[in-house]
Amino acid sequence: MIMKSIKTALIVILGSGLIFIGCAKMPAKLVSPTLKIEPVVKDNKELFKLTLSTGIQNENSDTAFIDMKGLIFFSDAGTHVLTIPFHLPVVLPFDTGIIEAEKTYSESEIMPLVTLFGSDKEKLLNEKVLERSFVDEKNIGFELTGCEKKNILDVLKDKVNEKN
Amino acid sequence: MKKIDDSRIYLIAAVTTLVVGIVLGAIAFYSILHVEPKVEAFLSAKDTISTNYKRAYLILRDPQVFAGYGYFDVEGVSVKNSLTFFDKRVYNGEEIDANRKAYLELLLDRRKKGSVLTRNTMVFFMVLSMVFWALFIQERRSFKQ
């Protein structure tokens, strides 16, 4: 009877221990995306420069994201109108990986995005810039194509050993 | 009316609380007797301060079970900020100077509080276990009679 009771007690302890096992929380949205589109002339061609500034927050206390690769997309009713690749070498716990992207596009490539933000070519050329500080969450998002999750302690120990 | 033998339930409860108490005690006293003095020794170093502080931080980065870094109240924000600061410093291979000692002590203080909480919880489970053992013995005796 005693052995059976001890067995049951161990099952109770291990079972309740499972409740405390968690896993790394992946970032779900971009932090404060700001966007700027400016007309530029390059090699006598009329092009449009897109500057995007945003961040990806790591809300975990003990997991670092290494080699975070992915695509930021702008979407209109579920259809991607433009995608921008990004790469963050490391995002430490409680930190925000800053993404600063700058890319030049042709008129046909950028116009769906300009239209999405309520402007058009003429307006953009007249005003010289289209700027949006608050981009609606349904118009911008990201998907990860690669990311290594590593315990922060291992990352820091590797760094300290690397230096020694 | 037929009396039901509850001794098995008391025995399971007594063993469970005893095992939990022992595990908690081991966790608490490992931190109190081994980890915290080690960190204090690194923090009181007079030379190669940066290296010793980094060693202390690597120990403190692994939190005490009852003082994890997952959730913070208003008071804990300083701990969260310290973690962000030191993670960056250590990752980038930057020096940690003597002025930062107070922030490492803040992390040590959190660990100490966690150890005290674990020790107190251990006492609670031990008392609970004793109560269940007493009930178990009493139940066995009354059933035999």
**pLDDT of res. A104:** 92
Question: For residues B123, B126, B127 and B129, what is the CA-based torsion angle, rounded to 10 degrees?
Answer: 160
Phi then psi for residue A163, to 5 deg, are -70, -35
- Chain B residues with CB under 8 Å of a chain A CB are 8, 11-12, 15-16, 19-20, 54, 57-58, 61-63, 68-70, 80, 83-84, 87-88, 90-91, 93
Tell me what ipTM this predicted complex has: 0.79
pLDDT per residue over B40-57, tens digit each?
A: 999 999 889 999 999 999
Which of the residue ranges A84-93, B11-20, B75-84 would you say has the lowest mean pLDDT?
B75-84
**pLDDT of res. A4:** 67
How many Å is the Cα radius of gyration of chain A? Answer: 23
Q: Do A5 and B8 touch (CB under 8 A)?
A: yes
Residue environment code for B87-124, b if the CB has 16+ CB neighbours within 10 A, otherwise e? bebbbeeeebeeebeebbbebbebbbebbbbbbebbee
pLDDT per residue over B94-111, tens digit each?
A: 999 999 999 999 999 999
CB-CB neighbors (< 8 A) of B91 in chain A: 90, 92, 155-156, 159
**pLDDT of res. A22:** 57
Q: Do B87 and A6 touch (CB under 8 A)?
A: no
**Rounded-to-integer distance, Cα A60 and Cα A95, Å:** 9
